[in-house]
Amino acid sequence: MGFTIALETGAKDVHSGTTGGVARNPIGELAALIAELYDAKTGKVKVAGFYADVRKLTAVERKAFKRARFSRKRFQTAHELGKLRPIRDDLEGLIALTAAPTLEVHGLVGGYSGPGIKTIVPHRAEAKLSTRLVPDQRPEKVFKLIKRFVASRLPDAVVSHEASLEPYVGEIGGPYNAAAAAAMRATFGKQPAFVREGGSIGAVLTMRRLLKTPVVFLGLSLPEHGYHAINENFDWPQASGGMEMFCRYFHEIAERGRIAG
């Protein structure tokens, strides 16, 4: 769920030498508000009720997550990150990465952004944020909680909803997942681990609702492909392997259907 928080405190930018100390600074106030919304060092969201509806991982899911053998060190290297948030172990790292809700700040706009310094107090600023929601959180409820939180701290700020999607989680068991696992194993030579993934694919919920059929995700991208980063790419071994894997997947479904029939 994406949203913005805007604050306007005047009609124009003013000189800090003649107004500083009395004029409100919307960038500073939004920065303080963001610090109240969440702990940037740990990622913990401070909005009351934010975690209330989060579905706990099942024992089966935890077992699958362990099988993934996620490594914080490899993750850090692949994404070229200087330092990670303090997390107890690799399993908890994978849970925080794929199964826990988040609140992220994507941008803070306002004031002077050119070279050097221009001594002004800005009259308007806007923060761009989003939350990653997980089952069974609902965007409309979370947005109301955030809007109420902001109103209690900064009443004249304007919180605007940008876009949102309901969370979706596929089933780990069943014939379609079994076919997917067999196709992955035959193509790439490794037993897949079923974990979750953060991302926004709006068609999934519509397909599940209208077609009334399971939706299976067959992940192919690697951390080093750099989603949303500079030089985002998708290498040929994964692409060509994906083509083979999809062919195997449909053959597996057909074969299983023939045996069942």
Contacts of 63 (CB under 8 A, 6+ apart): none
3-class secondary-structure state, position 169:
coil
Read out DSSP for 172-212?
Answer: SSSHHHHHHHHHHHHHHSS-----------THHHHHHHHH-
CB of 172 closer than 8 Å to CB of 64: yes
In angstroms, the CA 168 to CA 215 distance is 10
User: pLDDT for 23-81, tens place per residue?
Assistant: 999 999 999 999 999 999 999 999 999 999 999 999 988 998 998 899 999 999 988 89
Type and span of the H or E element at 67? helix 59-67
Axis crossing angle, helix 90-98 with helix 59-67, rounded to the nearest 10: 110
CB of 134 closer than 8 Å to CB of 110: no
Band (pLDDT 50/70/90 cuts) for residue 258 is low
Query: Is residue 261 scored above 60 in pLDDT?
Result: no
- Report which DSSP code applies to 56: P
The mean predicted confidence, pLDDT, of the chain is 92
pTM: 0.86
User: pLDDT for 11-22, tens place per residue?
Assistant: 999 999 999 999
- pLDDT confidence of residue 252: 92
Axis crossing angle, helix 139-153 with helix 26-37, rounded to the nearest 10: 130
- pLDDT confidence of residue 174: 84
CB of 179 closer than 8 Å to CB of 252: yes
Query: Is residue 260 scored above 70 in pLDDT?
Result: no
CA dist list (Å): 19 to 16, 24, 123, 130, 156: 5, 9, 12, 33, 20
- pLDDT confidence of residue 213: 82
